[in-house]
Amino acid sequence: MRTIKVGSRQSALALTQTGYVIQDLRNICDREGLAFDFEVHKIVTKGDLILDVTLSKVGGKGLFVKEIEQAMLDRTIDMAVHSMKDMPSELPEGLVNGAVPRRADPRDALVSRGGLTLDQLPEGARVGTSSLRRSSQLKSYRPDLQLESIRGNIDSRLRKLETEGLDAIILAAAGLYRMGWEDRITEYLSEEACLPAVGQGALGIECREDDEELLHLLTLYNDPATAAPVMAERRFLSVLNGGCQVPIGAHAVWLPEDDSLNSENKLQLTGMVGMPDGRLILKETLSGKDPVRLGEEVAWRLIDRGAEQILAEVRG
Ligand SMILES: NCc1[nH]cc(CCC(=O)O)c1CC(=O)O
Protein backbone atom coordinates (compact mmCIF):
# COMPACT_ATOMS: atom_id res chain seq x y z
CA MET A 1 0.00 0.00 0.00
CA ARG A 2 1.47 3.33 -1.05
CA THR A 3 0.73 6.47 0.96
CA ILE A 4 0.36 9.53 -1.26
CA LYS A 5 1.58 12.69 0.47
CA VAL A 6 -0.73 15.53 -0.48
CA GLY A 7 0.62 19.06 0.01
CA SER A 8 -1.84 21.80 0.88
CA ARG A 9 -1.79 25.44 1.88
CA GLN A 10 -3.09 26.04 5.37
CA SER A 11 -6.07 28.17 4.41
CA ALA A 12 -9.46 26.75 5.28
CA LEU A 13 -10.41 26.66 1.58
CA ALA A 14 -7.23 24.87 0.51
CA LEU A 15 -7.57 22.24 3.25
CA THR A 16 -11.26 21.73 2.50
CA GLN A 17 -10.64 21.32 -1.25
CA THR A 18 -7.80 18.92 -0.57
CA GLY A 19 -10.06 16.93 1.74
CA TYR A 20 -12.80 16.65 -0.91
CA VAL A 21 -10.31 15.49 -3.53
CA ILE A 22 -8.83 12.85 -1.20
CA GLN A 23 -12.34 11.57 -0.49
CA ASP A 24 -13.06 11.31 -4.23
CA LEU A 25 -9.75 9.53 -4.84
CA ARG A 26 -10.45 7.07 -2.00
CA ASN A 27 -13.79 6.27 -3.63
CA ILE A 28 -12.09 5.63 -6.97
CA CYS A 29 -9.53 3.39 -5.25
CA ASP A 30 -12.31 1.36 -3.60
CA ARG A 31 -14.16 1.02 -6.88
CA GLU A 32 -11.07 0.09 -8.90
CA GLY A 33 -9.36 -2.03 -6.23
CA LEU A 34 -6.30 0.27 -6.04
CA ALA A 35 -4.17 0.27 -2.89
CA PHE A 36 -3.43 3.90 -2.05
CA ASP A 37 -3.65 5.78 1.20
CA PHE A 38 -3.42 9.56 1.52
CA GLU A 39 -2.01 11.98 4.07
CA VAL A 40 -2.08 15.77 4.11
CA HIS A 41 1.10 17.84 4.54
CA LYS A 42 0.51 21.52 5.34
CA ILE A 43 2.80 24.01 3.64
CA VAL A 44 3.10 27.74 4.33
CA THR A 45 3.59 29.75 1.11
CA LYS A 46 4.92 33.27 0.57
CA GLY A 47 1.45 34.37 -0.51
CA ASP A 48 0.09 33.33 2.89
CA LEU A 49 2.71 35.40 4.72
CA ILE A 50 2.01 38.68 2.92
CA LEU A 51 -1.75 38.90 2.95
CA ASP A 52 -1.78 42.65 3.53
CA VAL A 53 -0.35 43.73 0.16
CA THR A 54 -2.25 43.79 -3.15
CA LEU A 55 -1.37 40.59 -4.99
CA SER A 56 -0.36 42.38 -8.17
CA LYS A 57 2.28 44.31 -6.20
CA VAL A 58 4.02 41.29 -4.76
CA GLY A 59 4.35 39.19 -7.87
CA GLY A 60 1.03 37.53 -8.49
CA LYS A 61 -0.51 34.14 -8.21
CA GLY A 62 2.63 32.05 -8.49
CA LEU A 63 3.31 33.02 -4.89
CA PHE A 64 0.85 30.46 -3.60
CA VAL A 65 2.19 27.52 -5.51
CA LYS A 66 5.96 27.86 -5.73
CA GLU A 67 6.84 26.25 -2.40
CA ILE A 68 4.34 23.49 -3.02
CA GLU A 69 5.84 22.73 -6.41
CA GLN A 70 9.35 22.69 -4.96
CA ALA A 71 8.21 20.18 -2.32
CA MET A 72 6.84 17.99 -5.09
CA LEU A 73 10.10 18.11 -7.04
CA ASP A 74 11.99 17.35 -3.80
CA ARG A 75 9.65 14.38 -3.20
CA THR A 76 8.59 15.73 0.20
CA ILE A 77 5.06 15.53 -1.21
CA ASP A 78 3.58 13.67 -4.19
CA MET A 79 0.63 15.77 -5.28
CA ALA A 80 -1.20 19.01 -4.66
CA VAL A 81 -4.70 20.30 -5.24
CA HIS A 82 -4.91 23.80 -6.70
CA SER A 83 -7.72 26.10 -7.64
CA MET A 84 -7.30 26.21 -11.40
CA LYS A 85 -7.50 29.97 -11.30
CA ASP A 86 -4.42 30.17 -9.08
CA MET A 87 -2.39 27.78 -11.22
CA PRO A 88 0.23 29.48 -13.44
CA SER A 89 -0.05 28.75 -17.16
CA GLU A 90 3.35 27.10 -17.34
CA LEU A 91 4.18 24.30 -14.92
CA PRO A 92 7.82 23.75 -13.94
CA GLU A 93 9.84 21.07 -15.71
CA GLY A 94 9.01 17.66 -14.23
CA LEU A 95 5.48 18.47 -13.04
CA VAL A 96 2.15 17.94 -14.80
CA ASN A 97 -1.51 18.58 -14.24
CA GLY A 98 -2.75 15.01 -13.80
CA ALA A 99 -6.47 15.71 -13.53
CA VAL A 100 -9.10 18.38 -13.76
CA PRO A 101 -12.10 17.08 -11.84
CA ARG A 102 -15.68 18.11 -12.55
CA ARG A 103 -16.09 21.84 -12.28
CA ALA A 104 -18.19 23.55 -9.62
CA ASP A 105 -20.20 26.74 -10.23
CA PRO A 106 -17.86 29.14 -12.05
CA ARG A 107 -19.79 32.33 -11.24
CA ASP A 108 -18.89 35.19 -8.97
CA ALA A 109 -21.25 35.84 -6.11
CA LEU A 110 -22.33 39.01 -4.34
CA VAL A 111 -22.45 38.83 -0.55
CA SER A 112 -24.17 41.98 0.65
CA ARG A 113 -25.42 43.35 3.92
CA GLY A 114 -29.19 43.27 4.10
CA GLY A 115 -29.50 40.92 1.13
CA LEU A 116 -29.45 43.65 -1.54
CA THR A 117 -28.68 42.69 -5.14
CA LEU A 118 -26.08 44.51 -7.25
CA ASP A 119 -28.83 46.66 -8.81
CA GLN A 120 -30.33 47.44 -5.39
CA LEU A 121 -27.12 48.63 -3.71
CA PRO A 122 -27.43 52.34 -2.77
CA GLU A 123 -25.73 55.06 -4.84
CA GLY A 124 -22.01 55.11 -4.03
CA ALA A 125 -22.10 51.82 -2.12
CA ARG A 126 -18.73 50.45 -0.97
CA VAL A 127 -17.93 47.05 -2.48
CA GLY A 128 -14.87 45.04 -1.42
CA THR A 129 -12.72 43.05 -3.82
CA SER A 130 -9.05 43.14 -4.65
CA SER A 131 -9.41 41.50 -8.01
CA LEU A 132 -8.87 43.94 -10.89
CA ARG A 133 -11.09 41.73 -13.03
CA ARG A 134 -14.00 42.12 -10.64
CA SER A 135 -13.53 45.83 -9.92
CA SER A 136 -13.09 46.71 -13.60
CA GLN A 137 -16.35 45.00 -14.57
CA LEU A 138 -18.36 46.27 -11.62
CA LYS A 139 -17.17 49.84 -12.28
CA SER A 140 -18.33 49.46 -15.86
CA TYR A 141 -21.71 48.08 -14.81
CA ARG A 142 -22.27 50.58 -11.97
CA PRO A 143 -19.84 53.53 -12.25
CA ASP A 144 -21.13 55.01 -8.98
CA LEU A 145 -19.86 52.10 -6.85
CA GLN A 146 -16.77 52.58 -4.69
CA LEU A 147 -14.57 49.53 -5.14
CA GLU A 148 -12.32 48.87 -2.16
CA SER A 149 -9.41 46.54 -1.91
CA ILE A 150 -9.78 43.61 0.49
CA ARG A 151 -7.39 40.71 0.60
CA GLY A 152 -7.20 37.64 2.74
CA ASN A 153 -8.75 34.21 2.75
CA ILE A 154 -12.49 33.93 2.19
CA ASP A 155 -13.19 33.62 5.92
CA SER A 156 -11.41 36.90 6.67
CA ARG A 157 -13.01 38.63 3.68
CA LEU A 158 -16.46 37.67 4.93
CA ARG A 159 -15.53 39.16 8.34
CA LYS A 160 -14.36 42.35 6.65
CA LEU A 161 -17.86 42.83 5.22
CA GLU A 162 -18.91 43.58 8.80
CA THR A 163 -15.77 45.09 10.34
CA GLU A 164 -14.88 47.47 7.49
CA GLY A 165 -18.42 48.73 7.06
CA LEU A 166 -18.65 47.58 3.46
CA ASP A 167 -22.00 47.24 1.71
CA ALA A 168 -20.99 44.11 -0.19
CA ILE A 169 -18.10 41.91 -1.25
CA ILE A 170 -17.62 39.70 -4.30
CA LEU A 171 -16.36 36.12 -3.94
CA ALA A 172 -16.25 33.04 -6.12
CA ALA A 173 -19.42 31.00 -5.58
CA ALA A 174 -17.38 27.78 -5.73
CA GLY A 175 -15.29 28.70 -2.69
CA LEU A 176 -18.39 29.56 -0.67
CA TYR A 177 -20.01 26.26 -1.67
CA ARG A 178 -16.98 24.21 -0.75
CA MET A 179 -16.87 25.88 2.66
CA GLY A 180 -20.59 25.28 3.18
CA TRP A 181 -21.26 29.01 3.27
CA GLU A 182 -23.49 29.28 0.21
CA ASP A 183 -26.29 30.71 2.39
CA ARG A 184 -24.24 33.93 2.49
CA ILE A 185 -24.72 34.44 -1.26
CA THR A 186 -27.19 37.23 -2.06
CA GLU A 187 -26.87 37.10 -5.82
CA TYR A 188 -25.05 35.14 -8.51
CA LEU A 189 -23.53 37.67 -10.88
CA SER A 190 -24.41 37.21 -14.54
CA GLU A 191 -21.65 36.89 -17.13
CA GLU A 192 -22.78 40.23 -18.54
CA ALA A 193 -22.07 41.93 -15.21
CA CYS A 194 -18.96 39.98 -14.24
CA LEU A 195 -17.26 37.36 -16.38
CA PRO A 196 -15.46 34.89 -14.08
CA ALA A 197 -11.72 34.31 -13.84
CA VAL A 198 -10.08 31.78 -16.10
CA GLY A 199 -10.59 28.35 -14.53
CA GLN A 200 -12.81 29.63 -11.74
CA GLY A 201 -14.66 26.82 -9.98
CA ALA A 202 -12.32 24.15 -11.33
CA LEU A 203 -9.50 22.35 -9.56
CA GLY A 204 -6.24 20.98 -10.92
CA ILE A 205 -4.28 18.10 -9.44
CA GLU A 206 -0.54 18.51 -9.91
CA CYS A 207 2.00 15.71 -9.58
CA ARG A 208 5.41 14.60 -10.92
CA GLU A 209 5.37 13.59 -14.57
CA ASP A 210 7.23 10.34 -13.83
CA ASP A 211 4.79 9.19 -11.12
CA GLU A 212 3.00 6.70 -13.31
CA GLU A 213 0.99 4.95 -10.59
CA LEU A 214 -0.45 8.19 -9.34
CA LEU A 215 -1.02 9.49 -12.87
CA HIS A 216 -3.03 6.36 -13.63
CA LEU A 217 -5.28 7.05 -10.65
CA LEU A 218 -5.62 10.72 -11.63
CA THR A 219 -6.62 9.79 -15.19
CA LEU A 220 -9.62 8.03 -13.70
CA TYR A 221 -10.48 11.22 -11.82
CA ASN A 222 -10.11 13.59 -14.78
CA ASP A 223 -13.33 15.01 -16.23
CA PRO A 224 -12.83 15.66 -19.97
CA ALA A 225 -16.06 17.69 -20.07
CA THR A 226 -14.38 20.14 -17.66
CA ALA A 227 -10.82 19.86 -18.93
CA ALA A 228 -11.60 21.07 -22.48
CA PRO A 229 -13.38 24.34 -21.59
CA VAL A 230 -10.77 25.09 -18.93
CA MET A 231 -8.07 24.46 -21.54
CA ALA A 232 -9.71 26.99 -23.89
CA GLU A 233 -9.84 29.59 -21.11
CA ARG A 234 -6.23 29.00 -20.12
CA ARG A 235 -4.98 29.16 -23.68
CA PHE A 236 -6.81 32.50 -24.01
CA LEU A 237 -5.08 33.78 -20.87
CA SER A 238 -1.63 32.67 -21.90
CA VAL A 239 -1.86 34.27 -25.37
CA LEU A 240 -2.66 37.52 -23.56
CA ASN A 241 0.28 36.79 -21.27
CA GLY A 242 -2.03 37.10 -18.29
CA GLY A 243 0.28 35.51 -15.77
CA CYS A 244 0.26 38.41 -13.37
CA GLN A 245 -2.91 39.92 -12.00
CA VAL A 246 -4.63 41.76 -14.81
CA PRO A 247 -8.30 42.51 -15.60
CA ILE A 248 -8.91 39.43 -17.73
CA GLY A 249 -11.85 37.05 -17.53
CA ALA A 250 -13.04 34.10 -19.60
CA HIS A 251 -15.62 31.38 -19.52
CA ALA A 252 -16.15 28.47 -21.91
CA VAL A 253 -19.22 26.24 -22.07
CA TRP A 254 -20.36 23.34 -24.22
CA LEU A 255 -23.01 24.28 -26.74
CA PRO A 256 -26.00 21.96 -26.99
CA GLU A 257 -25.53 19.48 -29.86
CA ASP A 258 -27.30 20.44 -33.04
CA ASP A 259 -29.02 17.93 -35.31
CA SER A 260 -26.74 18.30 -38.30
CA LEU A 261 -25.23 15.08 -39.59
CA ASN A 262 -21.59 15.75 -38.84
CA SER A 263 -22.28 17.38 -35.51
CA GLU A 264 -19.55 17.21 -32.91
CA ASN A 265 -19.72 18.98 -29.60
CA LYS A 266 -18.69 22.60 -29.82
CA LEU A 267 -17.37 24.93 -27.17
CA GLN A 268 -18.30 28.56 -26.81
CA LEU A 269 -15.75 30.86 -25.23
CA THR A 270 -16.28 34.42 -24.03
CA GLY A 271 -13.17 36.38 -23.12
CA MET A 272 -12.77 39.89 -21.78
CA VAL A 273 -10.06 42.45 -21.09
CA GLY A 274 -10.96 45.62 -19.23
CA MET A 275 -9.46 48.87 -18.08
CA PRO A 276 -9.12 48.89 -14.29
CA ASP A 277 -11.46 51.88 -13.96
CA GLY A 278 -14.09 50.15 -16.11
CA ARG A 279 -14.14 52.88 -18.78
CA LEU A 280 -13.53 50.29 -21.47
CA ILE A 281 -14.39 46.58 -21.46
CA LEU A 282 -13.53 44.50 -24.51
CA LYS A 283 -15.44 41.24 -24.91
CA GLU A 284 -15.58 38.60 -27.61
CA THR A 285 -17.48 35.32 -27.96
CA LEU A 286 -16.60 32.61 -30.49
CA SER A 287 -17.35 28.92 -30.81
CA GLY A 288 -15.26 26.03 -32.07
CA LYS A 289 -14.31 22.40 -31.60
CA ASP A 290 -10.64 22.72 -30.72
CA PRO A 291 -10.15 24.31 -27.28
CA VAL A 292 -6.61 25.51 -27.98
CA ARG A 293 -7.50 27.22 -31.25
CA LEU A 294 -10.65 28.68 -29.74
CA GLY A 295 -8.68 30.23 -26.88
CA GLU A 296 -6.19 31.70 -29.35
CA GLU A 297 -8.85 33.07 -31.68
CA VAL A 298 -10.73 34.88 -28.93
CA ALA A 299 -7.43 36.34 -27.66
CA TRP A 300 -6.41 37.49 -31.15
CA ARG A 301 -9.78 39.18 -31.68
CA LEU A 302 -9.27 41.14 -28.48
CA ILE A 303 -5.68 41.97 -29.45
CA ASP A 304 -7.01 43.35 -32.76
CA ARG A 305 -9.28 45.61 -30.73
CA GLY A 306 -6.49 46.95 -28.50
CA ALA A 307 -6.27 44.48 -25.60
CA GLU A 308 -2.47 44.65 -25.50
CA GLN A 309 -2.46 48.44 -25.04
CA ILE A 310 -4.86 48.09 -22.10
CA LEU A 311 -2.74 45.36 -20.52
CA ALA A 312 0.49 47.29 -21.09
CA GLU A 313 -1.01 50.23 -19.19
CA VAL A 314 -2.09 48.02 -16.33
CA ARG A 315 1.33 46.38 -16.05
CA GLY A 316 3.24 49.62 -16.54
N1 LIG B 1 -8.12 34.01 -5.49
C2 LIG B 1 -8.39 33.14 -4.38
C3 LIG B 1 -9.31 32.02 -4.72
N4 LIG B 1 -8.87 30.97 -5.44
C5 LIG B 1 -9.94 30.15 -5.65
C6 LIG B 1 -11.05 30.69 -5.04
C7 LIG B 1 -12.41 30.13 -5.05
C8 LIG B 1 -12.60 28.78 -5.64
C9 LIG B 1 -12.47 28.69 -7.13
O10 LIG B 1 -12.55 29.67 -7.88
O11 LIG B 1 -12.27 27.55 -7.58
C12 LIG B 1 -10.66 31.88 -4.42
C13 LIG B 1 -11.49 32.78 -3.61
C14 LIG B 1 -12.25 33.81 -4.39
O15 LIG B 1 -11.80 34.30 -5.43
O16 LIG B 1 -13.33 34.21 -3.93
Catalytic machinery residues? 86
Mean residue pLDDT across the chain: 93
Q: Which of 84-98, 135-149, 192-206 has the lowest mean pLDDT?
A: 84-98
Q: Which of 63-72, 195-204, 227-236 has the lowest mean pLDDT?
A: 63-72
pLDDT at 62 over 70: no
Which has more confidence, 62 or 46?
Answer: 46
pLDDT confidence of residue 263: 65
- Pocket probe mutation, ligand 1, options 63, 83, 246, max atoms within 8 Å of Cβ: 83
Taking CB atoms and a 6 Å cutoff, what residues make up the pocket around ligand 1?
A: 83, 85-86, 154, 171-172, 174-175, 200-201
Q: For the residues 126-141, what does the mean pLDDT come to?
A: 96
Checking 13-17 for CB contacts under 8 A at 24+ apart, the result is 13/83, 13/153, 13/154, 13/175, 13/178, 13/179, 14/81, 15/40, 15/42, 16/178, 16/179, 17/81, 17/83, 17/178, 17/203
**Structural domains of the chain in order of their starting residue, each with its CATH number:** 2-103+202-222 (3.40.190.10), 108-188 (3.40.190.10), 229-315 (3.30.160.40)
Q: For the residues 256-278, what does the mean pLDDT come to?
A: 86
pLDDT band at 191 (very low <50, low <70, confident <90, very high): very high
State ipTM: 0.93
pLDDT band at 66 (very low <50, low <70, confident <90, very high): confident
pLDDT at 58 over 60: no
Q: For the residues 222-233, what does the mean pLDDT come to?
A: 97
